[in-house]
Amino acid sequence: MTPEMFAQGAKRLQDYQQRLANESVTESGGRAASYGRLHDAGALDLTHGRILYLEDVHVSFDGFKAINGLSLDIAPGELRCIIGPNGAGKTTMMDIITGKTRPDRGQVYFGSTIDLRRHNEPEIAQLGIGRKFQKPTVFEHLTVYENLELALKTHKGVLASMRFRIDGASADRLSEVLATIHLREAVTRLAGELSHGQKQWLEIGMLLMQDPKLLLLDEPVAGMTDHETERTAELFLRLKGQHSLMVVEHDMAFIAAIAETVTVLSEGRVLAEGTLAQVQSDERVIEVYLGR
Ligand SMILES: Nc1ncnc2c1ncn2[C@@H]1O[C@H](COP(=O)(O)OP(=O)(O)O)[C@@H](O)[C@H]1O
Ligand SMILES: [Mg+2]
């Protein structure tokens, strides 16, 4: 950080606060007007009604079958909950979708035509799949605003980010994301000063700046207070529809608050799928949770 960068940052912040002030006196025109698309990740073919499609996926680590015949699909705009005991393969499944782990065999498609096995991690992020790891990974020494701005730059690649200046559409989006993640009041605070829950929201906001079509969230409410957990449930309910979400979580009160379809993973494959009430009354599910 050089003094020039600090000065630029201060100027940006001032411009931004001016924009917020202006915005509060004029009706913004609603979500559709302000959610300018920042990039077109290419045509995602949703004609078959699926945004994500996994079929008979297998992954072994030194002979151990972590994923063993996993088949699953998600509809556009769906909020899918994934539960299952430790070691069921939930995180490994996300590693496969995001290109971190290569499946030994099976199909992994984004829409009907994009074969995710042919893409690496940065390409998959560019295609519109955002991932939230369990631990918050925000830049503690930057403000909330700067973190969100950086998320936008990072997504544009190194060369584009050097030329990058936040434009009107991006500024509108930043403002909208700030409201969505409940951090409007905290815009000038350092990320390092936020509560654990607020840091998680900020990281979700950083993902939202990239306008992902599919969001993968691994144990997003772990370590949150009850109040933060409730607000996160509201947040996810608001995001579904515009984005597809895959949420892995152990917190059953949270799952109950957001669930439509729940998929239970066990030993690397789908054990049961249905409403929360259906899977909770399924004998096989009760057995894997209680142990054999
Ligand atoms: N990179 C890896 N190398 C070896 N074993 C792994 C690796 N990643 C995951 N595993 C194993 O695969 C199984 C599934 O792990 P994981 O996907 O983390 O489960 P979950 O997220 O459902 O708790 C576990 O037994 C884990 O130890
Ligand atoms: Mg896990």
User: Ligand 1: which residue has its CA nearest to atom 4?
Assistant: 61
Q: What is the mean pLDDT of the chain?
A: 86
CA of 248 to the centre of ligand 2 (A): 8
**Closest ligand, as measured to the CA of 87:** 1
Query: How many helices (H) does the chain have, and how many strands (E)?
Result: 12, 10
Q: Given the structure tokens 């998680």, which residue do they identify?
A: 200
Listed range (33-37, 80-84, 137-141, 209-213) with the worst mean pLDDT: 33-37
* 280 occurs within a structural domain: yes
Instruction: Tell me: pLDDT of 292 over 90.
Output: no
Residue 134 CB neighbour total at 10 angstroms:
14
* 223 occurs within a structural domain: yes
Residues 6+ apart with CB under 8 A from 95: 101
Which ligand 1 atom is at minimum distance from the Cα of 92?
17
* 37 occurs within a structural domain: no
Closest CA to 222 of 242, 203, 240, 206: 203
* 214 occurs within a structural domain: yes
Listed range (41-45, 170-174, 188-192) with the worst mean pLDDT: 41-45
Average pLDDT of the residues in 108-125: 95
Instruction: Tell me: pLDDT of 247 over 50.
Output: yes
pLDDT at residue 133, rounded to an integer: 84
Average pLDDT of the residues in 237-261: 96
* 42 occurs within a structural domain: no
pLDDT at residue 186, rounded to an integer: 97
* 35 occurs within a structural domain: no
Range of the domain at 164: 3-25+47-290
Q: pLDDT tens-digit profile of 187-209?
A: 999 999 999 999 999 999 999 99
Half-sphere exposure of 223 (CA within 13 A, CB side): 13
Model confidence at 169, pLDDT cuts 50, 70, 90, reads confident
User: Ligand 1: which residue has its CA nearest to atom 26?
Assistant: 87
* 109 occurs within a structural domain: yes
Helix (H, G, I), strand (E, B) or coil at 19: helix
Half-sphere exposure of 100 (CA within 13 A, CB side): 12
CA of 275 to the centre of ligand 1 (A): 26
pLDDT at residue 195, rounded to an integer: 95
User: Ligand 1: which residue has its CA nearest to atom 11?
Assistant: 66
Residue 130 CB neighbour total at 10 angstroms:
24
* 236 occurs within a structural domain: yes
pLDDT at residue 168, rounded to an integer: 79
Q: pLDDT tens-digit profile of 217-236?
A: 999 999 999 999 999 999 99
91 lines ligand 1 (CB under 6 A): yes
88 lines ligand 1 (CB under 6 A): yes
61 lines ligand 1 (CB under 6 A): yes
pLDDT at residue 37, rounded to an integer: 37
Provide the CATH number for the domain around residue 284. 3.40.50.300
pLDDT at residue 152, rounded to an integer: 83
90 lines ligand 1 (CB under 6 A): yes
Q: DSSP letters of 217-254?
A: EESTTTT--HHHHHHHHHHHHHHBTTBEEEEE---HHH
- Please give the single-letter amino acid code of residue 236: F
Listed range (15-29, 43-57, 61-75) with the worst mean pLDDT: 15-29
Q: Which two tokens stand for residue 183?
A: 């951090």
Give percent above pLDDT 90 in the chain.
72
85 lines ligand 1 (CB under 6 A): no
Model confidence at 171, pLDDT cuts 50, 70, 90, reads confident
Pinpoint the alpha helices (H) of the chain: 3-25, 30-34, 90-97, 121-127, 144-156, 158-163, 168-180, 196-209, 226-239, 252-258, 276-280, 283-290
For 99, the enclosing helix (H) or strand (E) is none
**Closest ligand, as measured to the CA of 93:** 1
Q: What is the domain count for the chain?
A: 1
Q: pLDDT tens-digit profile of 3-16?
A: 555 555 555 555 65
